[in-house]
Each structure stands twice: as C-alpha cells, then as structure tokens.
C-alpha cells in the first residue's frame, strides 16, 4: 500500500494500518507533518514553525511495516499500479491519494506574483517576515504615504483562515508592534480583510457570522464585504472603485486540488478535486482512493463535504478500514461524515463556534477553540510548546517569534 501525502488524512490512514498485515509506504514532499490550523499563528509571530511541525519519522516510530520516503507525487498509472514521485516510481497494490490542495488564484491578475498564500510553513514564514520587515522599513521611511503603505496589511478571503489571520495581525499591531516601534505612529497601521461575498465564514450560522465581524471590527480590522479583487499590482490591491496601497498581501480566498496526473483521468470538480465514490475510491480504479481536501464527495444534500481536518481524519480511518476489509474478504463501508462542528478564533477572548447544535461566541467559544486545537496536535512536545507560547502571549501581551529569518534588508538607510 502506498499513501501520497502526510497531512491529517494520509497520516491517520497509515497510523491505523501500521500494525496490520500490510506493508505501507508513505510519501510526502516534507519530512514533517504540519498542524495546518495553526499556520496563521506562525504567520502572525505567535508560534514558531517547530511548534506546529513534527518529524514524520518520529510520529511513525514503532511501526515495523511502515516505510517513509521524501518525495513529491507526480503521476499515477492506475492500470500498471505505479505511482511516480520525485524519489522514483513506486508500485502499489492499494493507493491512497492525500496530497491536499494549493492556493487558488481564480485566474486573477497579479495574485501569483504579489500575494502570499498560507498553505505551508514556508508561506507562513514569508507572511511574518514581510510584515516585520516592512515595519522595520517604515521606521526609517521619511515619506508619509510610503510609510502608510508599508504598515498596511491586507488579508483576502473571509473564511476561517482569513478571519483568524486578520484578527491575529490586529492583535500583533496593538500589543506588540506598538511597543517595538515607539518612533512610529502604529495606530495608523491598517489591517484590512477583504471578502468577495456579502458575509464572512460562509459555513457558519448567520448569527455567528455577524458576531465574528463585530469582533474583528472591535479589534480595528477594516472588513470589506462584497468586494471582489479585480487585480493585484506591486504594492496595490484593486477593488471595484478603490485601490488600496499595501505592502503585505495574504491570499487565503480559496484552494484548488493539488496537481497530479492520473491515468485514466478521473472526474474532477471545478476546483480540480478528485471526485470519489461513496467508499472513497476513484471511479474506475477500485484500489485507488482519494481522501481529505483533494477528494470531492457530495453529502446527502448534494453539498461537498467541507475541507476540514476532521473530515480528512474520518476519511483516513475509513480508507484504512476498507483496505483491511478487502484483505479479509468483507464488503467495504461507505463514508458517513460525523459533523463535530466548526469554530474560528478572532483574537484574545474572541471566537465563534457552532458545536453540538449550539452557537457560542466570545470567551466560551475561545476556550473551546483553545482546548480542541491543543488536544488535536499530534505530539506531546508540540502541545507543551504551543501551550507555553499561548500562556506567555496571553500573560505578557507578547509574541515570541519576531525574528526576521530571510536575507532581505530591513531598512532603507544607506550603510554608514
């Protein structure tokens, strides 16, 4: 069995089978698993990359039937049962495709050149470095208009990631950058959240959407609804009838299925995700499965399952069970999603959650968010590191990870 991708779904499938009577090869482009829900914390200087990443070999330690290979998936031949990766070709009896998604620019001009997504630790580091570097430049910039542009942070996309990132950047501005840069009028810095539709958090009940918006506004975030981005240029975001000068642009407006050549080509959704059958197998290839964000499977109401960690985890468990059932000669089960709710944090003591049929916001939702995410982190070491950083940030109104880790020059003054 070969698993492509060590995200939530792929890793869970491997963990369920690592003591079974089956040889498993796990392939991922990185040698670590990333806890994706906390990438925005790295991007806003709250956590470091090491806090939300765990070496895959450490996670799989003790699984004698599991081999791990660093490599990127390139192609799959279903007839020959071969997966081609940058580490070479790998034959399989069963294949699980769990390669996730990539940032979707929707064909909008300039997005690929002038904005940064938030799909990896590298993206999060780029966002953080950009914000910190531009404030360093603003500290020595004599021109007021350019100084304002350097201190303007734009987040495009009003889903959970966009809401969480915008709130975190606003708190970074209020509690940290204001003290780090006493020579700057940091109160003039702007955090702008742009959403093309007329509401934030489309998967949440309307009441919680309004609560999230109110909490963001209370933090000083400028929320622009019904504002589709027309194009990006260097240092500029063009909206209908308005141009925003900004040096920091994060694009979290949507995703598309990660590219992978599959022969024969399976049906795909408009955003490039692989359409799967009820047992999560690829139509026409019963021994090839797709799970997690790369998989497209409508629910009983015809709506695709949300791209959430809990969906990927449950699909990983089912795929492992169905492969075991095949080996034992038992019929496969179909996927039935157990919805445990959705939640998003906005900032300190600010969050919204729809769990167990209840709609909660504010402090209670924030505590629920903290507990759920802390328990979901894979390793005990990472849990301890995240808890320590969260406690420090809360008690000291501080952010621990404010190092500039790229090679760009911070200021604009000439060397002495």
222 is catalytic: no
Backbone angles phi, psi at 241, to 5 degrees: 80, 10
Instruction: Give the Cα separation of 174 and 188 in Å (integer).
Output: 11
**Residue 123, both tokens:** 């993206």
Cis peptide before 264 (omega within 30 of 0): yes
Instruction: Give the Cα separation of 194 and 251 in Å (integer).
Output: 10
**Residue 110, both tokens:** 């300039």
Instruction: Give the Cα separation of 99 and 289 in Å (integer).
Output: 12
Q: How far is CA 316 from CA 100, 125, 276, 279, in A?
A: 13, 29, 14, 11
Q: How far is CA 235 from CA 138, 243, 347, in A?
A: 14, 10, 27
CA gyration radius, the chain: 22
**Residue 326, both tokens:** 């095949």
Q: Where are the alpha helices (DSSP H) in 285-347?
A: 309-328
Instruction: Give the Cα separation of 145 and 9 in Å (integer).
Output: 47
Q: How far is CA 251 from CA 98, 156, 195, in A?
A: 23, 5, 11
* 8 A C-beta contact, residue 329 and residue 189: no
Name the 3-class secondary structure at 304: strand
User: Which residue in the list 41, 136, 141, 164 is annotated as catalytic?
Assistant: 164
Annotate 145-214 with DSSP letters as a single string.
HHHHHHTEEEEE--SHHHHHHHHHHHHHIIIIIHHH-TTS-GGG-EEEEE-SSSSS-TTS-HHHHHHHHH
Q: Which residues are catalytic?
A: 164
């Amino acid at each position: 069995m070969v698993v492509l991708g060590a995200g939530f779904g792929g890793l869970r499938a491997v963990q369920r089978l690592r003591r079974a009577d089956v040889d498993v090869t796990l392939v991922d482009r990185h040698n670590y698993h990333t806890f994706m829900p906390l990438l925005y914390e790295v991007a806003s200087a709250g956590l470091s990359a090491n806090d939300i990443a765990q070496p895959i070999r450490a996670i799989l330690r003790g699984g004698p039937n599991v081999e791990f290979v660093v490599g990127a998936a390139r192609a799959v031949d279903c007839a020959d049962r071969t997966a081609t990766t940058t580490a070479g070709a790998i034959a399989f009896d069963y294949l699980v495709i769990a390669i996730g998604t990539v940032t979707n620019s929707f064909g909008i001009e300039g997005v690929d050149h002038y904005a940064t997504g938030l799909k990896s630790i590298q993206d999060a580091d780029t966002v953080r470095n950009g914000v910190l570097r531009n404030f360093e430049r603003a500290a020595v910039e004599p021109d007021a208009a350019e100084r304002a542009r350097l201190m303007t942070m734009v987040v495009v996309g009003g889903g959970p990631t966009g809401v969480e990132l915008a709130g975190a950047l606003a708190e970074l501005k209020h509690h940290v950058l204001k003290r780090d840069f006493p020579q700057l009028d940091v109160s003039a810095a702007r955090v702008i959240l742009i959403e093309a539709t007329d509401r934030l958090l489309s998967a949440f009940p309307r009441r919680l959407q309004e609560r999230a918006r109110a909490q963001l506004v209370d933090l000083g975030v400028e929320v622009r609804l019904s504002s589709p981005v027309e194009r990006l240029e260097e240092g500029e975001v063009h909206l209908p009838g308005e141009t925003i000068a900004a040096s920091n642009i994060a694009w979290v407006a949507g995703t598309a299925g990660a590219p992978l050549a599959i022969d024969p080509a399976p049906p795909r959704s408009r955003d490039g995700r692989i359409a799967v059958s009820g047992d999560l197998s690829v139509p026409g290839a019963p021994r090839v499965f797709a799970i997690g964000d790369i998989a497209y499977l409508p629910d009983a109401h015809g709506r695709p399952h949300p791209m959430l960690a809990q969906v990927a985890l449950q699909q990983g468990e089912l795929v492992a069970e169905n492969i075991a059932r095949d080996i034992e000669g038992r019929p496969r089960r179909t996927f039935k999603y157990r919805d445990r709710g959705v939640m998003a944090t906005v900032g300190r003591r600010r969050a919204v959650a729809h769990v167990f049929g209840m709609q909660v916001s504010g402090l209670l939702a924030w505590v629920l968010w903290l507990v759920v995410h802390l328990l979901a982190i894979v390793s005990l070491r990472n849990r301890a590191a995240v808890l320590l950083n969260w406690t420090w940030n809360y008690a000291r109104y501080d952010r621990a990870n404010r190092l500039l880790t790229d090679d760009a020059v911070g200021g604009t003054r000439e060397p002495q």
